[in-house]
């Protein structure tokens, strides 16, 4: 009986929290009551904005169909793409499990209500043809090779490989792709210039034992081994906007 009562109480509290996230109030307020304010006001975002969400700063690369794409302005932490060195795709890698599990759950209930589940295409590597795997349903994800050139500037190199000997995109948009780690000690300083830290993309690299990445603003299409532990995370997700 106690267990049933506890479950009912938990359900009631959850429903109350969801109502609060939506701006819901007591349907029969008494005289003098003041409706509770929405604890998370509607998100307003335009392309190029930097907004706060869940205690972090997020860049807005895209707004479409009542949704805004948020990409972490900084590298939040470092993790391997996959805990073990193996042939993997985004669908089965441990980093995807972490982002859609522990990382997603780190947001408050009202914030999680704003995050939209999307279908992501996982294309083969455009140069090496390493398999990208199945489409995935994600709440939190990493940008792909196609998306990083779409949102930071497309010189056409991804579609037209400059040379058979070149395995990176090095163009006029490098500076825009540099990202700095929240932990300053993780950034790379060269000749007094802060070049940030490198960060994973979800696309496969030269082979499926590697994943593509951005380092010093250069897109390494061939990638690093998936078990590389110092890969930076710039999570991305779509949220509802007015």
Please report the pLDDT score of residue 21 as a whole number. 66
pLDDT band at 27 (very low <50, low <70, confident <90, very high): very low
What are the φ and ψ backbone dihedral angles of 8, each rounded to 5 degrees? Answer: -65, -45
18 to each of 35, 37, 99, 110, 229, how far by Cα in Å? 15, 13, 22, 7, 37
Residue 2 resides in a domain? no
Question: pLDDT, tens digit, for every residue of 119-162?
Answer: 999 999 999 999 999 999 999 999 999 999 999 999 999 999 99
Please report the pLDDT score of residue 8 as a whole number. 43
pLDDT band at 17 (very low <50, low <70, confident <90, very high): very low
Residue 30 resides in a domain? no
Residue 202 resides in a domain? yes
Residue 1 has pLDDT above 60, yes or no: no
Residue 29 resides in a domain? no
Please report the pLDDT score of residue 242 as a whole number. 84
Domain that holds residue 97: 50-240
Please report the pLDDT score of residue 42 as a whole number. 83
pTM assigned to the model = 0.86
Q: What is the b/e burial string over 56-84, where b = at least 16 CB atoms within 10 angstroms of the residue's CB?
A: eebbbbbbeeebbbbbbbbbbbbbbbbbe
Which residue reads 């825009």 in tokens? 176
Question: pLDDT, tens digit, for every residue of 189-213?
Answer: 999 899 999 999 999 999 999 999 9
Question: pLDDT, tens digit, for every residue of 156-176?
Answer: 999 999 999 999 999 999 999
Residue 6 has pLDDT above 70, yes or no: no
Q: Taking residues 104-111, what's their average pLDDT? A: 97
Residue 32 resides in a domain? no
Q: Taking residues 52-65, what's their average pLDDT? A: 97
Residue 187 resides in a domain? yes
Residue 24 has pLDDT above 90, yes or no: no
| Residues present in the chain in total | 242
Total of domains in the chain: 1
Q: Taking residues 87-116, what's their average pLDDT? A: 98
Residue 14 resides in a domain? no
- Which segments within the chain are labelled E, that is strand? 50-53, 56-64, 67-72, 115-116, 118-120, 136-138, 168-169, 189-190, 193-194, 199-204, 210-215, 218-225, 236-240
Question: Which 8-state DSSP code applies to residue 160?
Answer: S
Residue 86 resides in a domain? yes
pLDDT band at 39 (very low <50, low <70, confident <90, very high): low
pLDDT band at 41 (very low <50, low <70, confident <90, very high): confident
Helix residue ranges, H only, the chain: 2-21, 94-98, 104-105, 109-114, 145-152, 174-177
């Amino acid at each position: 009986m106690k267990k049933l009562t506890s479950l009912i109480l938990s359900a009631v509290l959850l429903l109350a929290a969801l109502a609060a996230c939506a701006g819901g109030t007591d349907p029969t307020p008494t005289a003098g009551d003041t409706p509770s304010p929405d604890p998370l006001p509607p998100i307003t975002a335009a392309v190029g904005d930097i907004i706060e969400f869940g205690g972090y700063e997020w860049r807005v690369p895209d707004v479409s169909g009542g949704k805004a794409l948020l990409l972490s302005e900084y590298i939040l932490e470092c993790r391997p793409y996959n805990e073990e060195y193996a042939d993997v795709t985004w669908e089965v890698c441990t980093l995807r499990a972490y982002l859609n599990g522990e990382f997603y759950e780190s947001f408050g209930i009202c914030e999680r209500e704003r995050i939209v589940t999307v279908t992501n295409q996982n294309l083969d590597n455009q140069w090496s043809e390493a398999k990208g795997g199945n489409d995935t349903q994600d709440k939190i994800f990493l940008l792909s090779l196609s998306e990083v050139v779409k949102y930071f500037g497309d010189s056409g190199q991804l579609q037209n490989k400059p040379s058979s000997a070149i395995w990176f995109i090095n163009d006029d948009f490098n500076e825009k792709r540099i990202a700095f780690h929240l932990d300053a000690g993780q950034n790379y300083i060269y000749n007094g210039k802060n070049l940030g830290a490198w960060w994973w993309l979800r696309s496969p690299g030269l082979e499926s034992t590697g994943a593509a990445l951005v380092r010093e603003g250069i897109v390494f299409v061939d990638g690093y081994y998936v078990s590389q532990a110092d890969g930076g995370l710039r999570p991305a997700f779509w949220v509802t906007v007015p």
